Structure 1
Amino acid sequence: MALTNVSRKMAAVTLVVSLLVSLCALSIPSRVEAAQNDPASRTKMQQYVASMQPGWNLANTFDAPGSETAWGNPVVTKELIEAIAAQGYHSIRIPITWEGRIGSEPDYKLDETFMKRIQEVIDWSLDAGLYVMINLHHDSNWVFNMTTDHDGVLNRFNAVWKQISAYFRDYPDKLMFESINEPRFSDDWNKDTPEYFTMLDELNQSFFNIVRHAGGKNKLRPLVIPSITANHSQARLDELYKTMTKMNDPNLIATIHYYGYYPFSVNMGGSTTFDETARADVEHSFDRAYHTFVEKGIPVVVGEFGLLGFDTSVDTIEHGEILKYFEYLTYYAKQRQLTLMLWDNGQHFDRSSFTWKNPDFYEVMHAGLQSRSSNALSDSIYLKQHDPVKDVSMPMNMNGNTLTEIRVGDRVLTAGTDYKLDGDQLTLTAGLLQSLLTDKLGDNAVLTCTFSAGAQWSFHVIQYNTPQVRSVEATRAMFIIPTTFNGDNLATMEAVYAAGGNAGPDDWTPYKQFGKSFEPDPAHNYITLNKEFFDQVKDGEVLLKLHFWSGTVVDYKLVVDGNKVSGIGGDDSEAVVSETTSEAKPAAVEKTEETTLSSPPIAQMEDTDDQETSEGEAEALWFSAGGIVLVVAALGVALVLHRRGMFR
């Protein structure tokens, strides 16, 4: 009998203890997440990197060959550096290519005049209160040869860093060194081999040892260590983590670069919008960096970010989609405690007038450091000329904000009369839209929305008619399609062979790359098909589909015979001009039966986004709820056992 009572007591105690242990275990993730988001709990170097937010790249300047103006940017001045600081930037990355300024072996002496010029710009930057990062930039082009000239590359690399670290040995720790920009050892940027990882580890270890033994303040200077190509794949992050762990040094910073989901970043493959796939790419990339480094106490700097299409033109990607990309990237980087440094090769901040070429890019990025910004499915509303004007409904991404005002110029619109907002659905009335139309095609009006927080969002009211394309005879080397755009804008282009198969470069998709295969020029009424396109087009018939943002799709046929190319359009072709509807509509690229474009952005963010909660915070809510349930369950079991006498 005594044994039975003891067994019952033991069973009861075990059950209660098990429930309480489970409760404690469930509460751990929420406590860990809270600790990681608490600035006071971050390591000293994580606080250092947080103080660098946001950062800016002085790109296409000292990384250019020959002189700092070789790639079209003006000479750097103290006033420029002060202007960058005045814009709210806290750090500057100065990409430097030492190639062409390095003497012959064995000393590899650096050009003294060039070194003094770099020193001058560093001094200006520090005087402006900026954190400063310098590196070996396009020197990665000769480091590339390490597979065939291991000792020669390593000796040169070491000699350069010995001189740099000695020259700046007494500079404050707000000057940091980055070992090498986007290191790689193959023309295939995606290729990973144990040999490549070993070579980069050797370079990074050598860099680390040289700087740490260079005297002065270099013993504690923050050092920035990249993965292969500064890529964020898990394999490359894991190898970088191994290298940094071996260094066993608290003053290290991991660095990656981020240029978005590739098809969206260059506008190809039908990825014309910042859709769920592009958004997920941001999340997965930053999550990998966070879990590999940040949650283990190692800070991460996104040393470059932007979109690859900017190298051609900022018009490669639709304007509103860029804004949505910048908004979400800034928001999610903040959630994952990553410091961002904008890559600006001259296309963003005008270095002569000290103004932003696209002020809304700047505004949405800087607002994002404090709060979410609201946006919409599209920033354009297309109204076909002479069609009856109807109400237009636009899904909004409110992101936790409220709409406070819509304005057209000096006119403040009236809620209920000019527009209606029902949850996240904004309806612009036919009466309002009709009042905004003129007799011209193209932009007729801009509606500016202001919200309770974040940047403004603008809608462009665009009147259009069906674009017209005409026949032409030309050559592969120079081919343009005479085009009357009639207020519409080209989004993307499909190219397939009449006999079957995708035509042109990147033949995994019929949707060709904007700026590489084709370039629209509405101001001069033509679409250029570039030589890069025809270099990979076989003789025969090629069928084009020109997708416009209004939803109109215009067919055009090419007949390629050797160097001769005949373009057939308009009355001479059998092409069909199709439109999704004649009603007014937000800008959209219509899907075709043969292939599909990326899905449009979701109309409404998930609730966790609207409440500005990260994945970790959402998990914490679940853990808390689970903990409460377990507490109740434990107390209930204890009470039942007590009543049955099992604790006596």
Structure 2
Amino acid sequence: MKDIRQPAHHRRRGTGRLAGPLMALLVILGLSGSTALAAPGGTAQQAGSTVKVPARAMDAVAAMQPSWNLGNTLDAIPDETSWGNPKATRELFKTIRAEGFRSVRIPVTWSAHQSATAPYTVDAAYMSRVKQVVDWALAEDLYVVLNIHHDSWQWISKMPTDHDTVLARFNSLWTQIAERFRDAPRALLFESVNEPQFADATDAQKTKLLNELNVSFHKIVRSSGGGNANRLLVLPTVYCTPDQRLMDDLSATIRKLNDRNLVATVHFYSWYPFSVNMAGGTHYDEAAQNDLNDAFARMRDTFVARGIPVYVGELGLLGYPDHNHPSRVERGEALKYYEHVGYAARLVGVTTALWDPGTWAYLNRETLKWTDPALMAWIKSSWTTRSGTASFDKVFLEKKEPITAKGVTLNLNGTRFRGLWHGETKLVEGRDYTLFDTTRLVLTAGALTRLSGDRAYGVNATLQARFSRGLPWQIEVVTYDEPVLSDATGNTDGLTIPTRYKGDVLSAMEARYGDGSNAGPKDWTVYQEFNATFSPDYPNDTIVLKPEFLDSLRDGELVTLTFNFYSGKKVMYHVKKSGDSVTGTHVVPLS
């Protein structure tokens, strides 16, 4: 099987909002930021800011928890609004601070605003805009991490074959950034490069090249003087991946630099199959949980235990949430991940920065409201406590069958179960449910009959399992029957399969050729990537097979698809591509 922990980029598109004319004038004059004053002990204090940065790097990074990313904004290509978000405002940072975040990461892609030839000058207006945004965040008493972002794959990745040009451009860029921000307060951190990568290079070459960039970055910033003399500097692993070998390489660089103001950074998007829902990763199962526990233990042992603070500069799931598409990760399974990762960060003592790509995900940048307040409640709760969960967030009742007792297994996470509620009504233990061995919660047939009512397809009732602390866990009572798929015709631009879901929820799609081999663009797994190769369309009662999947199929060969549903049902379907044409045929069940 191929390596399934793969790096990811985050790119979107869209519209913008203009800053006020007075502020625009101040930017042109170079007066948009507050003046920085030298403070005792070599620190710098931003006028109008109350952030007191601890002298010790470990304490300073701890004070940055929790953190948030201004994703797909200044890192968008070519301009700030190109990927669907409005221009950043000071009100945005005021909102982030009020919501409990203590720091922000401001990713910046410089390539479209920097000359690609010597002396590699950054456009003055763009540099001023970056400074304006940074100053707004600092003025709201937030720590700020400023970096070089998608430049990593746009031109820095060419370093193996164009070494001198890339290094000269990188050095020039950091020279200009360091000079512009040399007198900013110590609450501003610099991150050398996001997800560094090097095309067509061996592992050893990647290590050597990244070490060269990190060392050069360190030398440039420190030699620029002012507040940069003791500014916290953030250094990444290759790809920002938390693999042991890559973290060992970074640890060696940090030891060699012998600087107490260095911070290690990695990213964490969970076990890859779960994060994108492929290769059978439909649940936050033991494999996904172990991947998280192991990754955070490695961060602790490699860095934290040796006095090196860790900033997890991007945290989340690769395809979740995305309110423009069906959720590829089942909601309850996603909540279990967010609950766990918040606890793990506290347990090992690292600071985490939620990757927020914009309006379609966490914070709506137009309204400055959370797109999914309940999801954010789980994320926020994980910062300070644990919450109980369960093996799943749904109990399925097949409509054609008599109702029988159904149950879930509670994950107490150090809490105590307090009871089960339906709205404001507390269910009665012994009559409505039974609790076995403190964790096995079984709803009686009588309670389920009452809760399912007329047994319409879909969610009939929502229960709350409440615990001694943290948030309640919702359990939906769902009536369903086996979904039915119908014949369809289309082409390689897409095949739309009429589907009667009958209350069920699609979880995965398997694809096999007649000889038993895997079909699809990633033939190392039979399970195809959710939303990339197939996607449910519940409002229109269809399943859509995507061009990425159809283009990959062998011409003229029959492919058997097995659609998996969260009820446990599996429905088979045949697809055949002939040239540009595609036909789909439902398979009659044997029983």
**Into which bin does the TM-score normalised by the smaller protein fall?**
0.7 to 0.9
Q: Does 1:407 align with 2:417?
A: no
Instruction: Tell me the amino acid that sits aligned with residue 565 of structure 1.
Output: V
Following superposition, the deviation at residue 438 of structure 1 comes to 3.9
How far apart, CA to CA, are the structure 1 residues paired with 2:447 and 2:369?
Answer: 33
Q: Which residue is equivalent to 1:536?
A: 552
Q: Does 1:340 align with 2:356?
A: no
How far apart, CA to CA, are the structure 2 residues paired with 1:548 and 1:195?
Answer: 45
Following superposition, the deviation at residue 43 of structure 1 comes to 8.7
Q: Which residue is equivalent to 2:395?
A: 381
Q: 1:249 aligns with which of 211, 234, 259?
A: 259
How far apart, CA to CA, are the structure 1 residues paired with 2:516 and 2:443?
Answer: 44
How far apart, CA to CA, are the structure 1 residues paired with 2:176 and 2:329?
Answer: 42
Q: 1:153 aligns with which of 159, 166, 180?
A: 166
Q: Does 1:554 align with 2:571?
A: yes
Q: Secondary structure at the match of 2:138?
A: helix
Q: Does 1:102 align with 2:114?
A: yes
Following superposition, the deviation at residue 472 of structure 1 comes to 1.4
Q: Which residue is equivalent to 1:220?
A: 230
Q: Which residue is equivalent to 2:522?
A: 506
Following superposition, the deviation at residue 78 of structure 1 comes to 1.5
How far apart, CA to CA, are the structure 2 residues paired with 1:160 and 1:560?
Answer: 50
379-388 or 259-268: which moved more?
379-388
Q: Does 1:449 align with 2:499?
A: no
Whether the 8 Å CA contact 1:555–1:576 is kept in 2: the answer is no
Instruction: Tell me the amino acid that sits aligned with residue 61 of structure 1.
Output: T
Q: Secondary structure at the match of 1:556?
A: strand
Instruction: Tell me the amino acid that sits aligned with residue 491 of structure 1.
Output: S
1:597-612 correspondence runs (5 A):
none
Q: Secondary structure at the match of 1:473?
A: strand
How far apart, CA to CA, are the structure 2 residues paired with 1:357 and 1:420?
Answer: 36
1:180-259 correspondence runs (5 A):
180-186=193-199, 192-259=202-269
Q: 2:304 aligns with which of 275, 287, 294?
A: 294
Q: Which residue is equivalent to 2:103?
A: 91
Following superposition, the deviation at residue 106 of structure 1 comes to 2.2
Q: Which residue is equivalent to 2:276?
A: 266
Are residues 320 and 283 of structure 1, via their aligned partners in 2, closer, same or farther at CA, if it must alter by over 3 Å?
Answer: same
How far apart, CA to CA, are the structure 2 residues paired with 1:418 and 1:365?
Answer: 31
The unaligned stretches of length 5 or more in structure 1 are 1-41, 578-648
Following superposition, the deviation at residue 357 of structure 1 comes to 2.2
Q: Which residue is equivalent to 1:470?
A: 486
Q: Which residue is equivalent to 1:564?
A: 581
How far apart, CA to CA, are the structure 2 residues paired with 1:407 and 1:69?
Answer: 45
Q: Which residue is equivalent to 2:37?
A: none
Following superposition, the deviation at residue 359 of structure 1 comes to 2.5
358-367 or 217-226: which moved more?
358-367
Q: Does 1:516 align with 2:526?
A: no
How far apart, CA to CA, are the structure 2 residues paired with 1:193 and 1:388?
Answer: 59
How far apart, CA to CA, are the structure 1 residues paired with 2:127 and 2:341?
Answer: 35
Aligned residues: 530
Q: Which residue is equivalent to 1:278?
A: 288
Are residues 210 and 311 of structure 1, via their aligned partners in 2, closer, same or farther at CA, if it must alter by over 3 Å?
Answer: farther
Q: 1:545 aligns with which of 536, 541, 562?
A: 562
Following superposition, the deviation at residue 232 of structure 1 comes to 1.1
How far apart, CA to CA, are the structure 1 residues paired with 2:326 and 2:139?
Answer: 32
118-127 or 312-321: which moved more?
312-321
In the superposition, the TM-score normalised over structure 2's length comes to 0.87
Q: Which residue is equivalent to 1:646?
A: none
Whether the 8 Å CA contact 2:156–2:198 is kept in 1: the answer is yes
Q: Secondary structure at the match of 1:309?
A: coil
Q: Secondary structure at the match of 2:418?
A: strand
**Residue deviations 1:256-288 (CA, integer Å, cap 9, x gap):** 001111111111111111111111111111111
How far apart, CA to CA, are the structure 2 residues paired with 1:283 and 1:411?
Answer: 37
Larger helix proportion of the pair: 1
Following superposition, the deviation at residue 192 of structure 1 comes to 4.5
Following superposition, the deviation at residue 300 of structure 1 comes to 0.6
Q: Which residue is equivalent to 1:324?
A: 336
The unaligned stretches of length 5 or more in structure 2 are 1-53
Whether the 8 Å CA contact 2:321–2:362 is kept in 1: the answer is no
Instruction: Tell me the amino acid that sits aligned with residue 56 of structure 1.
Output: W
Q: Which residue is equivalent to 1:50?
A: 62
Whether the 8 Å CA contact 1:554–1:576 is kept in 2: the answer is no
Q: Which residue is equivalent to 1:70?
A: 82
Q: Secondary structure at the match of 1:461?
A: strand
Q: Following superposition, which runs of at least 4 residues in structure 1 exceed 3 angstroms of deviation?
A: 311-314, 573-577
**Residue deviations 1:397-437 (CA, integer Å, cap 9, x gap):** 01121223433233333333323333111122222222222
**Residue deviations 1:146-169 (CA, integer Å, cap 9, x gap):** 111111111111111111111111
Q: Which residue is equivalent to 1:31?
A: none
Whether the 8 Å CA contact 2:326–2:537 is kept in 1: the answer is no
Q: 1:426 aligns with which of 441, 444, 456?
A: 441
Q: Secondary structure at the match of 1:524?
A: coil
Q: Which residue is equivalent to 2:506?
A: 490
Following superposition, the deviation at residue 356 of structure 1 comes to 2.1
Instruction: Tell me the amino acid that sits aligned with residue 69 of structure 1.
Output: T
Q: Which residue is equivalent to 1:350?
A: 364
Are residues 576 and 363 of structure 1, via their aligned partners in 2, closer, same or farther at CA, if it must alter by over 3 Å?
Answer: farther
Whether the 8 Å CA contact 1:556–1:575 is kept in 2: the answer is no
Q: Greater relative contact order: 1 or 2 (C-alpha under 8 angstroms, separation 6 or more)?
A: 1
| Structure (1 or 2) with the larger CA radius of gyration | 1
421-430 or 56-65: which moved more?
421-430
Following superposition, the deviation at residue 353 of structure 1 comes to 2.5
Q: Secondary structure at the match of 1:383?
A: strand
Q: Which residue is equivalent to 2:32?
A: none
**Residue deviations 1:217-265 (CA, integer Å, cap 9, x gap):** 1000000000110111111111111111111100000000011111111
In the superposition, the TM-score normalised over structure 1's length comes to 0.79
Instruction: Tell me the amino acid that sits aligned with residue 553 of structure 1.
Output: K
Q: Secondary structure at the match of 1:72?
A: coil
1:125-144 correspondence runs (5 A):
125-140=137-152, 141-144=154-157
Q: Which residue is equivalent to 2:22?
A: none
Q: Secondary structure at the match of 1:272?
A: coil
Following superposition, the deviation at residue 390 of structure 1 comes to 1.8
514-523 or 439-448: which moved more?
439-448
Q: 2:477 aligns with which of 461, 464, 467?
A: 461
Instruction: Tell me the amino acid that sits aligned with residue 560 of structure 2.
Output: L
Whether the 8 Å CA contact 1:258–1:304 is kept in 2: the answer is yes
Following superposition, the deviation at residue 560 of structure 1 comes to 2.5
How far apart, CA to CA, are the structure 1 residues paired with 2:202 and 2:379?
Answer: 33
